[in-house]
Structure 1
């Protein structure tokens, strides 16, 4: 009976963890690019009262082991990396990744000076007063530019050779070489095209994406940011529309992939499971009380 009480406690703790995850999913139903989580359980070690035995030479058949489980524990909190729906915003610096559940934007807190990269699915970017492309919390968007950040005339641009080298922080300069920016756009390959005061179009840079062999292994760091871990694999960098990478859609934002119908259903299941586990504790307590009453 004491085992049953402790089994009930493990069940209640597990369902509380599940409820915590469900509540977090619901709280982030409108968070840009949020990936929902789920909780999986596994049974704990079982107490073996009798070992299994095979048939003997006297003709007696085999018997199975007698085991009593000692409760449950959380096996994993999986991240559901399926892409969310793209919502139209019409804003030029809103980007959504399409057909690339393993692809992430690459950002850096210091513009890549330390070499430390972080990753996000939140495609809402901004420009500061220096023209730098940043996230809402000031992280710099990383990508590819020409040597020395020079502007490449659009009519001589080659996607395979014009922008190469290490990742650098992207910016959209308002004034460059005496030319003033008139307008800019971003196509599905992540190429930033600007029109300057001389009437010509120039390629400013190209947004970079990263792929992971195991994106489920990424660590959530808050602020819609993911960190690389030992189990996520080494990031593979490339550009939108490259082989194995997603396509960038300018003017769209990726919404949360939380399914409220599923979350509310799981909430009911967790509530009833919590209630049932609490009943096993109270029932075990009543049985112990009856045992104590035998003394009277």
Structure 2
């Protein structure tokens, strides 16, 4: 079968991938701290065609493919929510999260946190139950205060005071981290990201601004995503038309051979 059939089929497949990415961006237009993704295409191998005189003619391409899917990490503005445990990062950086079961570390811009009690402590966690880390990469927690009932004598004081670490960091101050290189940061779902050795060790942003009672808006530009969707739909349609035309040509050639 001629090469145009394969080029058209591959083009349709890759445009479907682009449509899936765009659809996910649109679906998260109101998701706190969401970073939209975009598809990066690259050309496949080219072949040098021969002219009837034996010399080199034009190059023949083999189509394109989605080389990678990247996230747009542009900082977005924040909006006030009024919830005490909501936090937003003004500028670059990520919150560091730790899975209490596996110990895996992930990163996020989504600062919709809440308190989760375990035994005698409250832990600051995200919507998945992963614990938020402080500026010393330690879990942020608070002691559970015993209840005071009417008629009881004496004041109940906090079980522990806010003691600063040797480096002067408040143990309850949320840490904001960045990386020397942000290429290769991969989204794993639920607004969380993982890093590789390529990114290097997390770097604490000492002077990062964390806004309490606020959350970062989604980075999805609805108008831009609709434009990308129409472009992908049109390219998808053209690719399928190429497949159809190639099939019709092959059918005609086979009919002529049999006649």
TM-score bracket, normalised by the shorter chain, equals: 0.7 to 0.9
Query: Residue 175 of structure 1 corresponds to which residue in structure 2?
Result: 145
Give the secondary structure class of the aligned counterpart of 1:81.
Answer: coil
Query: 1:72 aligned to 2:72?
Result: no
After the TM superposition, which residues 200-219 of structure 1 pair with which residues of structure 2 at under 5 Å, given as runs?
205-219=172-186
What is the alpha-carbon distance in structure 2 between the residues aligned to residue 67 and residue 251 of structure 1? 59
Scaled by the length of structure 2, what TM-score is found? 0.82
**Which residues of 2 match residues 116-195 of structure 1 at below 5 A?**
116-129=104-117, 130-144=121-135, 166-175=136-145, 178-180=156-158
Residues 212-231 of structure 1 aligned to structure 2 (within 5 Å): 212-231=179-198
Give the Cα–Cα distance (whole angstroms) in 1 for the partners of residues 198 and 64 of structure 2: 25
Contact 2:77 2:90 in 1 (8 A): no
- How far 1:99 moved relative to its partner? 1.8
In the alignment, the residues of structure 2 paired with residue 179 and residue 14 of structure 1 have an alpha-carbon distance, to the nearest angstrom, of 62
- Could you say if the C-alpha distance between residues 248 and 64 of structure 1 is closer, same or farther in structure 2, counting changes exceeding 3 Å? farther
- 1:165-190 CA deviation, whole Å, 9 max, x = no partner? x4211123353994259xxxxxxxxx
Distance 1:226 1:78 in 2: 12
Q: 1:14-25 residue pairs with structure 2 within 5 A?
A: 14-25=14-25
Q: Deviations 1:232-265 (Å, cap 9, x if unpaired)?
A: 23211243xx2xxx31111110121011111111
Q: How well do the aligned residues superpose, as a CA RMSD in angstroms?
A: 2.6
Structure 2 residues not aligned, in runs of 5+: 147-154, 160-168
Matching of residues 282-293 of structure 1 within 5 Å: 282-293=244-255
CA deviations on 1:11-61 (whole Å, 9 max, x unpaired) are: 10110110111111112222221110011211111122349xxxxxxxxxx
Q: Check the 8 A contact 2:49/2:56 in 1, yes or no.
A: no
Query: How many corresponding residue pairs?
Result: 236
Whether contact under 8 Å (2:79, 2:217) holds in the other structure is: yes
Match of 1:84 among 70, 76, 100: 76
- Matched with 1:263 is 225
Structure 1 residues 290, 237: CA separation in 2 closer, same or farther (over 3 Å shift)? Answer: same
Q: 1:196 maps to what in 2? A: none
Segment of structure 1 superposing worse, 283-292 or 169-178: 169-178
Q: What TM-score do you get using the length of structure 1 for normalisation?
A: 0.72
**Distance in 2 between the 1:17 and 1:219 partners?**
17
Q: CA deviation at 1:125?
A: 1.1
Mark the runs of 5 or more structure 1 residues left unpaired by the alignment.
Answer: 52-62, 145-165, 182-190, 192-202
Task: Give the corresponding residue for 1:278.
Answer: 240
CA distance in 2, matches of 1:46, 1:210: 43
Answer whether contact 1:87 1:253 (CA < 8 A) is retained: yes
CA drift at 1:110: 2.3
Query: Using a 3 Å threshold, how does the CA distance of structure 1 residues 284 and 174 change in structure 2: closer, same or farther?
Result: same
- Find the residue that maps to 2:122 and give its secondary structure: coil
Partner of 2:200: 233
Would the alpha carbon gap of residues 91 and 5 (structure 1) be closer, same or farther in structure 2, given more than 3 Å must change?
same
* Other-structure match for 2:44: 44
- TM-superposed deviation, 1:292: 2.8
User: How far apart are 1:69 and its partner, in Å?
Assistant: 0.9
Q: Which residue of 1 aligns with 2:28?
A: 28
Q: 1:64 to 1:294 in 2, by over 3 A?
A: closer
